[in-house]
Amino acid sequence: MRRDLVRFSKWLSRLGFTPGTSGNLSARLDAHRLLVTPTGVSKGLVKATDMVIVDLQGRLLAGTRNVTSEISMHLAVYKHRPDVQAVIHSHPPIATAFACSGRALDEVLCQEAVMTVGPVPLARYATTGTSEVAESLRPYLPGHESILLENHGAVSYGKNLLEAFMKMETVEHLAHVALIAHQLGTARPLQPEQVQQLHHAKAKYLQNVSAEAAKAPAKPARSPYEIDGGQPAQATA
């Protein structure tokens, strides 16, 4: 798990989503503990031994560094989404520009928006590191897979770090498409019936994916995002 946190930290850094020491990642270790990136460390340089373990109140249980100052954002997601196993917060530049312009990513311009993260709402402004952040996220956590944070950045989550990472990557892609489509001046959002058909297509796709997963051998799948010759995720800290 530590290796996975390092791996996805580096990917976010390489994409330019975590300038300076910004951005943070976490994953559930078990019902009571989270493995989290530390505060004040570049995501491009963070090491496996830098990671810290906290409980679901954010209290440090293990590690030599301090936990990220934005831990309350992660705790809010885990509290209101018991299905979530991993959370990523970052500052992807174009999605953040939408968040700084008071704009959600809820206009359906391309099919991928429906097939992947769905509408991305904008949570109202909250001072980073305070309990206001959890309050601002709470209304959007059920029913959304990624959320923009007003004048701040984005948070995404999923059943593992890869899924949370891919959602973050997709949010930035959708923001990029929306930006350019509007610059071109002739953006043509999908019609409601086209969106409806895509919902059917998505349900069918997800059915096929779970049927494939049921047929697949028991060994864990190798992540397409693995770098540095990494091994598949281990269920250890």
Residues classed as catalytic: 70
**120, β-bridge pairs:** 105
Name the token pair of 70.
């934005």
Residue 159's alpha-carbon distances to 22, 130, 233, in angstroms, are: 23, 26, 13
- Our CB check for Zn ion shows the closer of 118 and 153 to be 153
As a whole number of angstroms, the distance between CA 107 and CA 53 comes to: 38
Minimal distance in Å, beta carbon 138 to Zn ion? Answer: 18
Closest distance between Zn ion and the C-beta of residue 209, in Å? 32
Residue with tokens 């968040």: 99
Of 9-17, 114-122, 136-144, 149-157, the window that binds Zn ion (rule: CB under 5 A) is: 149-157
| Range list of H helices, the chain | 2-14, 71-80, 93-100, 111-115, 131-137, 161-184, 192-215
Residue nearest to Zn ion (CB): 153
Residues within window 101-130 making contact with Zn ion, judged by CB under 5 A: none
CB of 94 vs Zn ion, minimal distance in Å = 16
Q: 39 or 197: whose CB is closer to Zn ion?
A: 39
Rounded to whole angstroms, the Cα distance separating 109 from 178 reads 7
| Choices 53-61, 150-158, 176-184, 207-215; region in contact with Zn ion by CB under 5 A | 150-158
What whole-number distance in Å separates Cα of residue 135 and Cα of residue 128? 12
State which of positions 33-62 bind Zn ion (CB under 5 A): none
x/- track of binding to Zn ion for residues 151-180 (CB under 5 A): --x---------------------------
199 token code pair: 């919902």
CB nearer Zn ion, residue 38 or residue 153? 153
Least distance from Zn ion to the Cβ atom of residue 153, Å = 5
- Structural tokens at position 171: 């949010």
Nearer to Zn ion, 92 or 153 (CB): 153
The site for Zn ion (CB under 5 A) is made up of 153
